[in-house]
Amino acid sequence: MSPDADWSGRKLHFVGVGGAGMSGWATVAAQLGATVSGSDEVESAALEALRGAGIDAYAGHDASRLPDADDLELVRSSAIPDANPELEEARKRGLRMMERAELLAELTSLRRTIAVGGAHGKTTTSSIVAHILIETGHDPGYLIGGQLRSSGRNADWGSGEWLIVEADESDRSLLSLEAELAIVTNVELDHHANYGSLAELREVFRSFLAEPVCAVLPDRPEILELRGDGPVVAFNVDELSLDADGSRFVWQGQQVSLTLPGAHNAANAVAALEVALLAGVDAADAAAAVGSFAGSGRRFERLGYSEQGALIIDDYAHHPTEVAATIAAARTLAPKRLVALFQPHLFSRTERLASEFGAALAEADVVVVSDVYASRERAEDFPGVDGHLIAAAAADAGDGREVCWAPTLTDARELLSSRLIPGDICLVLGAGDVRSVGEDLAV
């Protein structure tokens, strides 16, 4: 039980609990003493893990399974539509309903909070911060978007004074946080259904950065100016070396080794190191801790080898910048061929960024594109938009490289099973359910 809160009188039901963020908040709410339940559309490993922790988590949104309690509080994922049957039942019963940002605001008010924002790199950077603080004896709480491999969890309340959270701009929930320290990794338009322009997004980040005591930001004028007059640590990656073993760089006079490949991950690590220093961690201890960081779930995660001997790597990349960075990182492993399977996420993103996705994917030797994972959007609202737009753009940008259109994941699985050869690296990319293909290919 945490010394700073006792939620033993609360009853919380999470609608959309299978998402990485929501499952973490459900876990922490239970650790704080609340009676917790939750539902999601389909069965998943996240639901299984929640049940293993004693939480009533089930597949299928069923109004009849809502706990019978007048003081029940519902926490709603931003991916859940208004017409959800559990939400409709809650309205009939007059139950309290919260957006996820409201609960996160409550949690950040209980601890000194480190908030990590940015279009890309939030989960990896948050994971490195959490790992550093754990390894140096600070026992932090953390709520991150992927499983921290060293602990096997995506959330824990801990017993220390710090809480590490991701600051999500997609629904502006970052503006609800009470953060003492903040990191912004980058500012790039990703959620086109929620923002009309990059200028609008920049104003949201400007508001977010107005509150923390100190901010850790890339040493780039267009990001630094968002902080205004508050204290800031501007970071760069110094003396960077990349190879198949990861990266090495110098920080605060310390030689740092990171097992994750790619220049983007080195930058994430420097941001994490800077905020750990502000949180009271000794520089030498922080640098040493980074060396044992094993990564987080769905972030350049090695799933194993195919029957043909191809290395299968799963990554959550779902924006052109992320796809390009992941492909560049995989190149440092010197594959015989680099094969990229990409599942687009959201019709709105596909419509706006098809050309950019094509250019990013064309850096692979073989490209396979499946259809769009719709998530909270409907295909009928985006006529003519599908994954083939990205496949065509990759073919146009690819200088004759092989590009394959595999509308379903079954098509993609069968195609890759017949095409992979020894020495290949196969990247399985996307924020939807494309990971299942990688899991099936890895033996």
What local confidence, expressed as pLDDT, does residue 287 receive? 98
Which of 1.20.120.1200, 3.90.550.10, 3.40.50.720, 3.90.78.10 would CATH assign to domain 11-99? 3.40.50.720
DSSP type of residue 327: H
**Domains 11-99 and 111-290 are alike in CATH topology:** no
Reply yes or no on whether 92 is catalytic: no
Catalytic residue selected from 27, 35, 108, 123: 123
Torsion of CA 393, 398, 399, 401, to 10 degrees: -120
Give every CB contact of residue 204 below 8 A, 6+ residues apart in sequence: 169, 172, 174, 175, 195
Q: Token digits for 323?
A: 């796809």
Torsion of CA 193, 195, 197, 201, to 10 degrees: -140
Q: φ and ψ at 133, to 5 degrees?
A: -65, -35
What is the domain partition of the chain in residue ranges?
11-99, 111-290, 301-441
What local confidence, expressed as pLDDT, does residue 351 receive? 96
Instruction: Please tell me the distance from the alpha carbon of residue 346 to that of residue 375, in angstroms, as a whole number.
Output: 6
Reply yes or no on whether 336 is catalytic: no
Catalytic residue selected from 27, 86, 108, 122: 122
Catalytic residue selected from 73, 86, 135, 166: 166
Reply yes or no on whether 89 is catalytic: no
Instruction: Please tell me the distance from the alpha carbon of residue 129 to that of residue 152, in angstroms, as a whole number.
Output: 16
* 111-290, CATH topology level: UDP-N-acetylmuramoyl-L-alanine:D-glutamate ligase (3.40.1190)
What local confidence, expressed as pLDDT, does residue 3 receive? 52
What local confidence, expressed as pLDDT, does residue 1 receive? 35
| Beta strand segments in 125-201, E | 141-148, 153-156, 162-167, 181-184
Place of tokens 């995660």: 301
Which of 1.10.3720.10, 3.40.640.10, 3.90.190.20, 2.40.50.100 would CATH assign to domain 301-441? 3.90.190.20
From first to last of its 443 residues, what are the pLDDT tens digits of the chain? 345 688 999 999 999 998 878 999 999 999 999 999 999 988 888 899 999 999 999 999 999 999 999 999 999 998 888 999 999 999 999 999 999 889 999 999 999 999 999 999 999 999 999 999 999 999 999 999 888 988 888 999 999 999 999 999 988 989 999 999 999 999 998 888 889 999 999 999 999 999 999 999 999 999 999 998 899 999 999 999 999 899 999 999 999 999 999 999 999 999 999 999 999 999 999 999 999 999 888 889 999 999 999 999 999 999 999 999 999 999 999 999 999 999 999 999 999 999 999 999 999 999 999 999 998 889 999 999 999 999 999 999 978 789 999 999 999 999 999 999 999 999 999 999 999 999 999 98
- Closest alpha carbon to 350 in 402, 310, 288, 392: 392
